[in-house]
Amino acid sequence: MKRLFLCAALLVVGVMSASAQTKDGGISDDMLSRIRKGYEATPEQKAIKNALASTSIATLAINSENLTMCDTHFSHRVVTKGITDQKSSGRCWLFTGLNVLRAKMIAKHDLPSFEFSQNYCSFYDQLEKANLFLQAVIDTRDLPLDDRKVDWLLHNPIGDGGQFTGVSNLIMKYGVVPNIAMPETFQSNNTGQMNTILKLKLREYALELRELKPAKAVERKEAMLTEIYRILVECLGVPPTEFEWARYDKAGNLVSTKTYTPKGFYDEFIGEDLEKNYIMIMNDPSREYGKVYEIEYDRHIYDGENWLYVNLPIERIKEMAIASIKDNTAMYFSCDVGKFLDRTKGTLDLANMDYESLFRTAFPMDKKQRIQTFASGSSHAMTLIAVDLDAEGNPKKWMVENSWGAASGWQGNLIMTDEWFNEYMFRVVVEKQYVPADVLKLLEQKPILLPAWDPMFAPEE
């Protein structure tokens, strides 16, 4: 009996030893042997392997039971005209903010069409971001290079992505101009190489500033910004300080010809206080609802506003969005646009792709878990312009005006199901008049400051 027990014990030990990983946590030969059995070359596995060798995952995952185009009727839609195109740039946040104002401008002044100059705002955005970075380097000069904050700054010296506070702060400081006053250039439409040059220069400047005394660093920063300004002019053009604009009505009749400054043009034709009239509403289930959050360094102007938002359940956000659309007012909207996107149809629908059947495995994480693990986050801003409500007033689908050109999506727009909206919508910027009193009261609390590297921080591009 003792001998049998000993043999059994030795067998168990042998099995445990065989299944164990290496002492340092690596993959042992035995473990690798067992892992390899995950692919057994069955006919099903070979067919999938052959298909994946020559076809994109998105194409193979298309759900054949959801190929028909959804109904494009919407019960409520904001009146808009024209589709913009950000080309190969990360300026969706800017196009979106200006598209919201464009709809107001056309409706308010009976214009046949209109487009603000994105390039004009882009110029000052890049100049202000350069100053934000350089001043932050001066502020953190006593911290070691491997400090988390310094490390983040050096990883993110500048870029053309952003969010709504960039729109509000830049316009209130620099005004706006029509697109004919400062049209796009090759570099504004294709920002990658320009950004590479600016990042290289700013990182060089950062090392220099860290070695200087504060007073000398401030003096040197101005010379650095002068150099950055010159590079921006050569890439984007000279931003006008005044310009002439001829205004026509919808019938094509000349109404007026006048010379404006960028600030004067904004004040005359829009005139809103963008910094005080809008509230960013977030749906982030990874954090407590009913709280106000602020993200450090997530701003476009050093002396401007950080990204600040009220975190609310999705149903409260829908209430405000519906109220705004019913009143013919478009909104700044951001989401994780790449998830379940059918570019051909222009739809965002959880039923568009069937990844579980393709890979024979489940993907069970919910929205909170996807945020916590960086599996999902806001990546793109668009203009929320329509909702389709059922007989009880519940949303069935939504539509956004995109900035990928008129040939993209459905007539330049994307249509999303309400189920997709729940899972991948993150924030909406709403005018205060559509925000209930209890939500406005939440803004009285002191914001909870989050670091720039928080999972929910991502410049919308």
Catalytic positions are: 92, 380, 402
**Bridge-partner residues for 395, per DSSP?**
389
Q: Are 236 and 189 in contact (CB under 8 A)?
A: no
Q: CA-CA distance, 378 to 391, in Å (whole number)?
A: 31
Q: CA-CA distance, 181 to 198, in Å (whole number)?
A: 25
Q: Are 311 and 289 in contact (CB under 8 A)?
A: yes
Map tokens 């359940």 to a residue: 313
Q: CA-CA distance, 428 to 419, in Å (whole number)?
A: 17
**Cα atoms in the Cβ-side hemisphere of radius 13 Å centred on 187:** 17
Q: How many CB atoms lie within 10 A of CB 67?
A: 11
| Sign of the torsion angle spanned by Cα atoms 115, 119, 120, 126 | positive
Long-range interactions of 19-28: CB distance < 8 A, separation 24+: none
Q: Are 348 and 58 in contact (CB under 8 A)?
A: no
Q: Are 403 and 382 in contact (CB under 8 A)?
A: yes
